[in-house]
Amino acid sequence: MPLVDLGSHAEEFDADPYPFYAALRQAGPVHRIRIGGERPWLVVGHEEARAALNHPALSKNWLGSELFDTSQAYAANRNMLESDPPHHTRLRRLVAREFTSRRVEALRPRVQQVTDELLDAMAALPDRRVDLIRSFAAPLPMTVICELLGVPDLDQERFRYWSGEIVTSADPSGSDPRAMEQMTAYLFELVGAKAEDPGEDLLSALIRTRDEDGDQLAPDELIGMAFLLLVAGHETTVNLIGNGVRALLAHPEQLAALRADPDDLIDGAVEEMLRYDGPVQHATYRFARTDLEIGSTRIEAGSSVLVALAAADRDPARFAEPGPDVFDIRRTGQSHLAFGHGIHFCLGAPLARMEGRIAIRSLLERFPDLAEDPDAGPRRWLPGTLMRGVSSLPLRW
């Protein structure tokens, strides 16, 4: 099978990877690719992606892989996204005891309040122009996740930089090694302060929580959990909002339908945004512990595997009607993979959905003539293949 170099058309791929994925899918559901200095297998079919995301022979623990320099690992890497059962099972059980649907639902009034405050600030801008990412899509989830975890307001700018540096690299250690080092050091201080003076926040609850047998999170595990919740709980929602607004503005008939009937359509609209152009393009690396087969392709033990969620969610074999490349907020039978599948399904999916629904609906209600700024110049796409989105989204009204 020929090696596919995704970097050979980097600018075109960053702007619109979907034609590339379509061509790959036509040739088969699994391909060997070159990405940076790595040569992983890339899964692009929906059925095959579901199988890979929950395959017991595919490990998420890169610390046990020979493909990466484990000297670059930090305590923050010891989280449930980068672990396997039974360790993963134990971590997820302990966190699920505190990160409950009741705790998430209790955030709804605060999410609406933060949304309204950010939109008030936008409405007050004299030139009626704004970068939606900087002024709305980024600060909303950052404020919510920081308050949920009990992170002081004045540290949010630093977290925005650190998380941005970490997720825009395909390498697990991040694009700027100082970002991971500095975030880990800060989290050690934060966890220590919470242990000394606990509050009502989620991080304090995680420090206190114990299983029926007395098991609780160790210090390194608390660091890893705080890291995962801060980064995953922020970056994904930024791009859910940004990509969703871009999709609506590019499809005026869908935008008009949503404006006319938000009560009935907002839930489905957010699900279609997640499917059509979701915030996570590729799931993080998996590693074959044994020889295995996905989509009739043999993958040897020791190989790395990437699951292209963006490709799987445009697979015509799964999304035949009204077509995989059609943005349709009334689409039924979604079953998209934007939040993953299997044991690593996103624990924060309910919070992300709530934030997305409140943010999109409130934005459209406040600014009925919102449009992309024609003077903004070319779009700047996020680098790398982990996240899918733009670094800025200039709008006007």
Q: Say whether pLDDT at 173 is over 70.
A: no
Closest-CA residue to 53 (of 317, 282, 323, 362): 282
User: Dihedral angle at the C-alpha atoms of 51, 52, 56, 58, nearest 10 degrees?
Assistant: 170
One-letter amino acid of 226: A
Question: Which of the 8 DSSP states describes residue 243?
Answer: H
Residue 324: cis peptide before it, omega within 30 degrees of 0: no
Task: Specify whether the CB–CB gap between 395 and 180 falls below 8 A.
Answer: no
Structural domain total, the chain: 1
Task: Specify whether the CB–CB gap between 18 and 243 falls below 8 A.
Answer: no
Q: Give the CA distances from residue 206 to residues 218, 222, 276, 371, in Å, rounded to whole numbers and listed in that order.
A: 10, 7, 35, 43
Residue 163: which H helix or E strand, with range? Answer: helix 156-167
Local structure of 335: helix, strand or coil? coil
Q: Say whether pLDDT at 303 is over 60.
A: yes
The domain that contains 77 carries what CATH number? 1.10.630.10
Mean pLDDT, rounded, for 41-60: 97
Please report where in the chains the tokens 């892989």 appear, as a residue.
65
Mean pLDDT estimate for the chain? 89
Q: Which domain holds residue 306?
A: 4-396
User: For 343-368, what is each residue's pLDDT tens digit?
Assistant: 999 999 999 999 999 999 999 999 99
Percent of the chain with pLDDT over 90: 63
Q: Report the predicted TM-score, pTM, of the whole model to 2 decimal places.
A: 0.92
